[in-house]
Structure 1
Amino acid sequence: MSYSDKIEAMRGELRALNKAIPEATRAFGALSKAAKDQGVLSVKEKEFVALGSALGQRCEPCINFHVEALMKAGGTREEFCDVLAMCIQMGGGPAVMYAGHALACWDELAASVAASG
């Protein structure tokens, strides 16, 4: 399954979750929006922090979503790889494995964007 397909499949699962527990998911969405919209860090910087947390927690769907968000926020592959290096330094071997997933996701999404225009 491609990373784009994984992202879309997770979005489908989240839509079902939103219907099942709307108040809880709405509250989580409000928390996420407040964290992104408030403070002195840019959205891109906050997404780099989120990526580091996702790698540390070994949450592949989170990694995929934050890779996508970083691309939308203007992150570069060079910046992204620098953050992956820090994640590996902090997380050791497991971080290496998930950093590989994250980079593959970045490259696949970048190729898809390039191909679409």
Structure 2
Amino acid sequence: MKDFPAHFEELNVWMDKLGLAMPAVMQGFGALHQATIAKGALDSKTKELIALGIAITVRCDGCISFHVHDALKGGASKEEIAETVSVAILMGGGPSVIYGIEAMQALSQFQEKGL
């Protein structure tokens, strides 16, 4: 089983390093992220849950780490994350079951860490 909180921290370190190598690209990506996740017609929590569902269907471990973390930080409940996993499974089939399991593992690990 992956250690999702450790994976989240490691990715943050490497994104900082990537930002040093490609500052304009990473600043642009950061601005896109902030603008997209900002409250609008949808609140930030809902947007993070959508991003999590997409992360599961496109099979992105790092994205799962980030969006479970950020969904919890945004106030998502275990039940909301589980329902997001169920929608991802609907849209992504069997492979999304496997990545949905990873999302639930990440949820459990982040909750154990107090997030």
Alpha-carbon distance between aligned partners in 1 of 2:110 and 2:39, rounded to the nearest angstrom: 28
User: Which structure's residues are more often helix, by fraction?
Assistant: 1
Where structure 2 has 5 or more consecutive residues not aligned to the other structure, the ranges are none
Where structure 1 has 5 or more consecutive residues not aligned to the other structure, the ranges are none
Mapping for residues 24-35 of structure 1, pairs under 5 Å: 24-35=25-36
TM-score after normalising by structure 2:
0.94
Identical pairs, percent:
33
Larger Cα Rg: Structure 1 or Structure 2?
1
Mapping for residues 13-28 of structure 1, pairs under 5 Å: 13-28=14-29
Mapping for residues 38-57 of structure 1, pairs under 5 Å: 39-57=40-58
* Corresponding position: 1:9 with 2:1: no
Alpha-carbon distance between aligned partners in 2 of 1:2 and 1:38, rounded to the nearest angstrom: 30
- 1:77 corresponding residue in structure 2: 78
- Provide the aligned length of Structure 1 versus Structure 2: 114
Alpha-carbon distance between aligned partners in 1 of 2:50 and 2:3, rounded to the nearest angstrom: 24
Alpha-carbon distance between aligned partners in 2 of 1:56 and 1:15, rounded to the nearest angstrom: 26
TM-score after normalising by structure 1:
0.92
Alpha-carbon distance between aligned partners in 1 of 2:70 and 2:97, rounded to the nearest angstrom: 21
Q: Is the 8 A contact 2:57 2:89 kept in 1?
A: no
Name the amino acid aligned to 1:44: K
1:38 deviates by: 5.2
